[in-house]
Amino acid sequence: MFILSIRSKRWNIAMQHIYFAEKLANTRKSMKLVCHTHSLVPSRKLVKREAVHIPLTNHECSMYTALSKNNRKLLRRAQEEPYQVFLYTEPSEENLRAFQQFYNDFAKRKKIEQITKSQMESIMLLNQKNALFLSEVRSICGQTLCYRLDIVHAQKAMSYYVATSDALSLPAHLKRPLRYANRFLLWHNLMYLKQQGFVLYDMGELTDVETIRQFKLSFGGQVVNVYSGYIAQSKMSALLLGVQKWRK
């Protein structure tokens, strides 16, 4: 199976970035650094993490039944909201820049890492490979409430970035729609990807943040081990990688 891979630079080191490897991947000798994201191949050189995989081959009724009871209740309420959904299967640079600005505003509020210049370059490289799926939900009056950016490849998708609007900056009549927007958009996307023949959705890493962990688990699916991180292929890149880890 063809493996999704891009070549870029990180810390001024030539790097190959490999996504979703299901078997040992061939790495280019010219690449000083190899980065893996959610490889299914166990490796002592990578960090083992947990992720939730949702099979999209199951019947829609089975997928709905697998949702938590609270999730089903909230999705029923979300269906009553007059949302506008926009799907960008081939997002333009303008679409992605708008998303970056929205996400970085969200990241500032949440005090998490923003999408940097180098990360945006990787996003653009993925987009050149038609490996991105951007979705947006707006209120009836056109206010963006939530964005989701997924990596898609070989009929599989993975949650990449998610951002929601600021509740404090919204008028009172939009606070209820905002509450359900992310959940509504994720379920909408799962059904869309299923209809397009996708077989799996990776909800992303299960973190130690309990609210995020429970949100991901509430959509059913199976908890699996995935392996991510950097592998240095030269002594110099190993040294630079060690310096960067120390700085963090």
Cα separation, 197 vs 87, whole angstroms: 16
Whether residue 185 is contained in a domain is answered as yes
Task: State residue 33's pLDDT score.
Answer: 82
Whether residue 21 is contained in a domain is answered as no
Task: State residue 13's pLDDT score.
Answer: 72
Look at the chain and report how many structural domains it folds into: 1
pLDDT tens figures, 115-158? 999 899 999 999 999 999 999 999 999 999 999 999 999 999 99
Residues 49 and 32 sit within 8 Å (Cβ to Cβ): no
Cα separation, 126 vs 131, whole angstroms: 5
Lowest-pLDDT choice from 18-32, 70-84, 96-110: 18-32
| Nearest C-alpha neighbor of 145 from the set 158, 136, 154, 153 | 136
**Band (31; pLDDT cuts 50, 70, 90):** low
Whether residue 29 is contained in a domain is answered as no
Residues forming beta bridges with residue 56, ordered by sequence position: none
The amino acid occupying position 151 is I
The more confidently predicted of residues 25 and 243 is: 25
CATH number at residue 175: 3.40.630.30
Whether residue 2 is contained in a domain is answered as no
**Band (247; pLDDT cuts 50, 70, 90):** very low
Whether residue 68 is contained in a domain is answered as yes
Residues 182 and 146 sit within 8 Å (Cβ to Cβ): yes
Kindly tell me if the per-residue pLDDT of 29 is higher than 70. Answer: no
H or E element at residue 132: strand 132-138
The more confidently predicted of residues 229 and 150 is: 150
What is the residue-averaged pLDDT of the chain?
90
Whether residue 10 is contained in a domain is answered as no
For residue 143, give its domain range.
51-223
Whether residue 69 is contained in a domain is answered as yes
Task: State residue 8's pLDDT score.
Answer: 77
Cα separation, 102 vs 20, whole angstroms: 27
The more confidently predicted of residues 25 and 83 is: 83
Kindly tell me if the per-residue pLDDT of 19 is higher than 80. Answer: yes
Whether residue 162 is contained in a domain is answered as yes
**Band (14; pLDDT cuts 50, 70, 90):** confident
pLDDT tens figures, 162-212? 999 999 999 999 999 999 999 999 999 999 999 999 999 999 999 888 999
**Band (231; pLDDT cuts 50, 70, 90):** confident
Task: State residue 242's pLDDT score.
Answer: 52
